Structure 1
Amino acid sequence: MKSAFAESRPFLLLSLLFGISYYFACVLNNPELPEPLIVAWKGAGVGFLAIYALIRLHRLDGKIVGAIMALGAIGDMALEYDLILGAGAFMAGHLLAIIFYSRFRRHKLGFSQKLFAIILVPLSVLIAWALPFDRSEALGISVYCLSVAAMAAMAWTSRFSRYQVGAGAIMFLISDLLIFARMGPLETSIIPEMLIWPLYYFGQFMIATGIVATLRHEMAADSADPVQA
């Protein structure tokens, strides 16, 4: 177990290094670097989370979480060239995450938590639909928001930590709503520029590390159980 952690820790640290440095170097500043380098820098933060998940979870779940993170990294980079392609990669990741979370349902769910999850999806879609000034973009944005809001609701109601995986998914959703707000009422505001990347990246970081921590704990508990004939 210690060996696996030692092998995966550098990738977690690399994720933090690239994710945080991208914000200060490329979001808050305009570096004179080749565009492909900036795009690769952007994708590296979540890309290393994919490698981290694959190494820490030597089972199908690790491959699925790695694929979700990899699709996020592809979406990050593709958005710089083609909006539809980038959104498609993210939607594929959201749909895969929804299927994944459905396998880890929380057995007991409080009324307030269930109500929050139920309201979250239509409310998010309604907000997304109302945000863009160009009304021809409202339908496409709403369809995309449906996927990310459903992903967040499924994460919130899964048995993974709400304070880590659930909160991370909500942060991801808020970051996307801020992107849509930049197409509307916050078009000239500095708020989206300041908050979109931190909410998105640390949301992904919390999701990946929270899932891995929970499943590693369950694996350790299972291995400690006496073997029955």
Structure 2
Amino acid sequence: MKSAFAESRPFLLLSLLFGISYFFVKDSNIPGLYLMAWKGAGVGFLAIYALVRLHRLDGKIVGAIMALGAVGDMALEYDLVFGAGAFMAGHLLAIAFYSRFRRHKLGFSQKIFAIILVPLSVLIAWTLPSDRAEAPGIAIYCLSVAAMAAMAWTSRFSRYQVGIGAILFLVSDLLIFARMGPLETSIIPDILVWPLYYFGQFMIATGIVATLRHEMAADSADPVHV
């Protein structure tokens, strides 16, 4: 138990520390490079957490997904295209990852939700920007995050943790797109975008690690600590 705490809890605590505190300092006068690092640290420590807790290829993949998210967080401060590219790479990697962990039996409502989620999200994203020239690029990007969320929802990871976390990520991105159109002057995106995104990532990382570690310890009498 002490070993599990020593290996994982400090990284989760550091992630929470930077992830939560960033919300309160993001509009402060902290120099740009420091604020950029602060922003990336929240999800960056989730990447380290996954690498430490899963000593196998899956840990490296989940760590890479989170690392690409952290790179995207930081890059968005200076280059929207590069930041979106990092996130899209992470989504594509996550889609491939979730495809290896398909849920064998899906309820009818769960299938319908997953099927509708992608085209509906893309349609909503396409309608949001006031500058219609930006709509195709936004729709293409949204396709990647919506497909990621649908794959997470239909995977055998916990829907109440990984599935909902991926949906929160998707909603956060839709709010960003809404800020380019109908919610341009609204405070709602400023309040919700970061918390939905960060806690979505936190739920995804911890949910995947918990499931895989339980599976790894299925034949062991030792308790499993996330």
TM-aligned CA deviation for residue 75 of structure 1: 0.1
Q: Is the 8 A contact 1:91 1:148 kept in 2?
A: yes
1:78 and 2:95 equivalent?
Answer: no
In structure 1, the partner of 2:34 is: 37
Which residue is 1:91 aligned to? Answer: 88
- 1:115 is the counterpart of 2:89: no
Q: Deviations over 1:167-198 (max 9, x none)?
A: 00000000000000000000000000000000
**Alpha-carbon contact 1:4-1:55 (below 8 Å) kept:** no
1:32 Cα offset (Å) = 1.7
Which residue of 2 is the match for residue 130 of structure 1? 127
Aligned partner letter, 2:35: I
Q: Secondary structure at the match of 1:187?
A: coil
Alpha-carbon distance in structure 2 between the residues aligned to 1:33 and 1:189: 24
Structure 2 partner of 1:54: 51
Q: Deviations over 1:113-154 (max 9, x none)?
A: 000000000000000000000000000000000000000000
Aligned residue in 2 for 1:227? none
Unpaired runs of 5+ in structure 1?
A: 225-229
Question: What does residue 224 of structure 2 align with?
Answer: none
Alpha-carbon separation, structure 2, partners of 1:78 and 1:181: 20
3-state SS of 2:142 partner: helix
Q: In structure 2, what is the equivalent of residue 9 of structure 1?
A: 9
SS in 2 for 1:86: helix
The answer for the alignment partner of 1:172 in structure 2 is 169
Q: Which of 86, 102, 107 is the equivalent residue of 1:105?
A: 102
Which amino acid counterpart does residue 188 of structure 2 have in structure 1? I
Which residue type is aligned with residue 37 of structure 2?
A
**What is the Cα deviation at residue 34 of structure 1?**
1.1
1:2 shift after superposition: 4.7
Question: C-alpha displacement at 1:17, in angstroms?
Answer: 0.1
CA-CA distance at 1:8 after TM superposition? 1.6
Are the aligned partners of 1:5 and 1:56 in contact in 2 as well (CA < 8 Å)?
A: no
Say how many residue pairs are matched. Answer: 221
Cα distance, 1:25 vs structure 2: 1.8
1:5 is displaced (CA, Å) by 3.7
Cα deviation, residue 223, structure 1: 4.2
SS in 2 for 1:221: coil
Q: How does 1:118-197 map to 2 (within 5 A)?
A: 118-197=115-194
**1:19 is the counterpart of 2:16:** no
Residue deviations 1:58-114 (CA, integer Å, cap 9, x gap): 000000000000000000000001000000000000000000000000011001000
Distance 1:156 1:147 in 2: 14
TM-score (norm 2): 0.96
| Whole-Å separation in 1 of the counterparts to 2:69 and 2:219 | 31
% identical equivalent positions? 86
Residue type of the partner of 2:207?
G
Name the TM-score, length of structure 1 as normaliser: 0.95
**Structure 2, unaligned runs of 5 or more:** 222-226
What is the Cα deviation at residue 21 of structure 1?
0.3
Inter-partner Cα distance in structure 1 for 2:213 and 2:5: 11
- Give the equivalent residue in structure 2 for 1:211: 208
